[in-house]
Amino acid sequence: KDSYDITLLPGDGIGPEIMSATTGVLLALSKRCNFELRTTEALIGGAAIDAVGDPFPDESLRQCLSSDSVLLSCIGGYKWDANPRHLRPESGLLKMRKSMGLFANLRPARVLSQLVDASTLKREIVEGVDIMVVRELTGDVYFGTPKGIDVIDGKRVGYNNMIYGEGEIERIARVAGDVASKRSGKLCSVDKANVLDVSQLWRDVVTEIMSSEFKDVELSHMYVDNAAMQLIRYPKQFDTIVTGNIFGDILSDEASMLVGSLGMLPSASIGDGLGPGVFEPCHGSAPDIAGTDKANPLALILSAAMMLRYDLDRDAEATILERSVEAVLDMKLRTADIKQEGDGCRLVGCIEMGKAVADIV
């Protein structure tokens, strides 16, 4: 196959800018490597709320499902913060994940040698850190029922069910086992099994899957509170981490902050491999700098690389893209978010950064 349908979700804030920088790069790459990308834009987040009153309209879902892969910029902004929950941009994200069956979220936290000083942690602690967090994305307390806010005897009670079925745990364990065996073979499963029944089941099922299907993967278990500490104390002890939705939400953000340059971090949300995945940066929509050409497009460009690798089976092209990003860093180009005082680098905007990558792919 050498022609692909890609849905682009530019989203909110800096989303459209970094998307246009990234499509420029993809166009250059596709020319060089002789494949074709046909792109169609669709609505999500605040933009979708404003246009059609739904943060992820059915039309967008249909468009995504009919394509080979989906590239998403970022969503959200102050403008919609006071809306009721179902009319907030985040709800579009959750609806997208659930309705597209994207149960696995892969978030690499790799410290690039060019940016090691951007971290708030000491150089010797973060140099060489290369962690992949595999987060379950469609279960847990995010989607569990019963949930709600009831009034009982005149008093409000709020509740959400933290729940996992063994099938949900098995499939994310298989993704994690796969990822770990393609990396160092070391997998750390994070839970709170000393307190929670749902975590005890998590631990049991992950152990079962690894010992029956991934005999070469070296599995360890860690409590979530300890993991939050160890990520700061000695992050190099980790290779692949697998955990549930809410713990993964917290730990993957913590891990990305070790890297110090959130503007560089991509992510992949994937399902059973039959439908398309969604590829998006870890950073937010930065409404304060939207439209000023200050955004860093590299995380979305690296997300496009993950798309090439996971959805389009174009590993070589993914690698070209990743190397090109490192190359522009070596050429000492920096957007404002990764510029350090006295680093001897040149400050560039989003457009110029995108062009620089496009020029060398």
Q: Is 225 a catalytic residue?
A: yes
Q: Tell whether residue 347 is a contact of ligand IPM (CB under 6 A).
A: no
3-state secondary structure of 72: strand
Determine which one of 249, 293, 343, 355 is catalytic: 249
Contacted entry of ligand IPM, a copy of itself, none for residue 66, CB cut-off 5 to 8 Å set by kind: none
- Alpha carbon distance 61, 57 (integer Å): 7
Please, what sign has the CA dihedral across residues 86, 88, 92, 95? negative
Contacted entry of a copy of itself, ligand IPM, none for residue 198, CB cut-off 5 to 8 Å set by kind: a copy of itself
Q: Is 315 a catalytic residue?
A: no
Nearest to 185 by CA among 128, 244, 239, 231: 239
Q: Is 332 a catalytic residue?
A: no
* Amino acid, single-letter form, for residue 288: D
Instruction: Report 243-262 residues binding a copy of itself (CB under 8 A).
Output: 246-247, 249-254, 256-258, 262
- Paired with 346 in beta bridges are 333
Q: Are 173 and 201 in contact (CB under 8 A)?
A: no
Cα–chain center distance at 261: 14
Minimum separation from the CB atom of position 97 to a copy of itself (A): 11
Q: Is 153 a catalytic residue?
A: no
Segment contacting ligand IPM by CB under 6 A, of 16-24, 86-94, 214-222, 346-354: 86-94
Joined tokens for residue 285: 């929509």
3-state secondary structure of 190: strand
Rg (CA), the chain: 20
Instruction: Report 122-151 residues binding a copy of itself (CB under 8 A).
Output: 122, 125, 141-142, 144, 147-149
Q: Is 147 a catalytic residue?
A: no
- Alpha carbon distance 361, 266 (integer Å): 18
Instruction: Report 193-252 residues binding ligand IPM (CB under 6 A).
Output: 194-195, 225, 249
Tell me the residue number closest to ligand IPM, measured at CB.
Answer: 90
Residue with tokens 């804030």: 13
Binding site for a copy of itself (CB under 8 A): 85, 88, 90, 94, 120-122, 125, 141-142, 144, 147-149, 152, 155-167, 192, 194-202, 204-205, 224-226, 228-229, 232-234, 246-247, 249-254, 256-258, 262
Q: Which residues are catalytic?
A: 142, 192, 225, 249, 253
